[in-house]
Structure 1
Amino acid sequence: MAKKRWYSNSLLLILFLGSCFTASAQVQLADFKYLDQLEGAWVMRTRQSIIAENWTRINDTCWEGRSWRIVGSDSTLEASMQLLRTTEGIYFVPLISGQQSPQPLRLKVRVLKPIGFVAENLSYDFPQKVIYRFKGADQLDARFYGKQQGTSQEIIFQYEKE
């Protein structure tokens, strides 16, 4: 009886192929350039107010965003955000107004493509998942998912470039 070759073992083949697919799905630090589309002012008009989000590139490893609610001539800062590139990966860091937390939230960017990104950290209540999707050069959807007081919530912002 002939010896069974190591590569004929179907379990090894499945493990090898699985690791190839996993590695190809990871976000690369070089993909940080896809965030260049965020640059500038984005607005969403509602009946009562305007929600504005402004993004600025700080340096090669950091984007900074601010979200404002504008009612008439009054404006209120709702949140500050950062997208950070570190040696461990790319992170979305929301700094929500009035939130008392010794450590800022860090959501790891799991998907980063020319059409947008997905960041998540399921150990948080809100947000657990953040999705930014470009729907063209002048349209952007931002979605925030999570739980507050035991209830699942989704907040959707549909921005247009200003």
Structure 2
Amino acid sequence: MKKKTLNLFLLLIFYVTLGAKAQNRLPKAFNFLLGSWEMQTSKGKIIEHWKINTDQNLKGESYRINIKGDSLLTETLTIKKIGKEVFYCSTVTGQNDGKEVCFKLISTKQNTYIFENLTHDFPQRIVYQNQGKDHLLAWIEGAINGQNKKSEFKYKRI
């Protein structure tokens, strides 16, 4: 009887642990980001690379590559669940004393994912729009000194 009770207890612990891990997983809707994306600019190109981390969060890195081919890491990115909410978190090289800044997911309509942090100086919103297998549109927007500003990033899969 003790062995049966112990087995039931261990089975219960297993299912509770499995359920907790499943609750912390990101929705598969973000998998469209996985892989490498490139945007040509007049000064070279911007590369974003996304993968699934061992903790099941999406981990990204953004690089600028100049015309000579020199690369510079500009930011590290994470899309993760904190509690029941999803956040886009960025650590930008040379900004915010190296601290991560997070933006809460506020909308997921029509393949467009809007993350917002109204307390941040700029941007206050970061948006990713899935435009099919090989195209991704991202933009940042918000107000600077009372003026609305928006910067777009048109990526192609590489």
TM-score range, shorter chain: 0.7 to 0.9
What is the SS of the residue equivalent to 2:79?
strand
CA distance in 1 between counterparts of 2:154 and 2:47 reads 10
Choose 63-72 or 146-155, whichever is displaced more: 146-155
Alignment-derived partner of residue 13 in structure 2: none
Q: Any gaps of 5 or more consecutive residues in structure 2?
A: 1-22
Match of 2:63 among 56, 61, 68: 68
Give the share of equivalent positions with the same residue, in percent: 28
Whichever residue aligns with residue 120 of structure 2, its letter is: Y
Paired residues in the alignment total 135
Q: Does structure 1 residue 85 correspond to structure 2 residue 85?
A: no
Q: In structure 2, do the counterparts of structure 1 residues 80 and 143 end up closer, same or farther at CA, with 3 Å as the change threshold?
A: same
What amino acid does structure 1 have at the position aligned with 2:133?
A
User: Are the counterparts in 2 of residues 54 and 66 from structure 1 also a CA contact under 8 Å?
Assistant: yes
Indicate conservation of the 8 Å contact 1:42/1:161, yes or no. Answer: yes
Preserved CA contact (<8 Å) 2:26 2:80: no
The TM-score normalised by the length of structure 2 is 0.76
**Normalization by structure 1: what TM-score?**
0.74
Q: Secondary structure at the match of 1:137?
A: coil
Out of 124, 129, 132, the position equivalent to 1:133 is 129
Look up the SS of the partner of 1:106 in the other structure: strand
Q: For the residues of structure 2 that align with 1:79 and 1:102, how far apart are their CA atoms?
A: 10
- Per the TM alignment, residue 47 of structure 1 is displaced from its structure 2 partner at its CA by 2.6
Cα distance, 1:103 vs. partner?
4.9
Name the structure 1 match of 2:31.
36
The structure-2 alpha-carbon separation of the partners of 1:60 and 1:116, relative to structure 1 and needing over 3 Å to count, comes to farther
Structure 1 stretch displaced more, 110-119 or 72-81: 110-119
Q: Which amino acid aligns with 1:48?
A: K
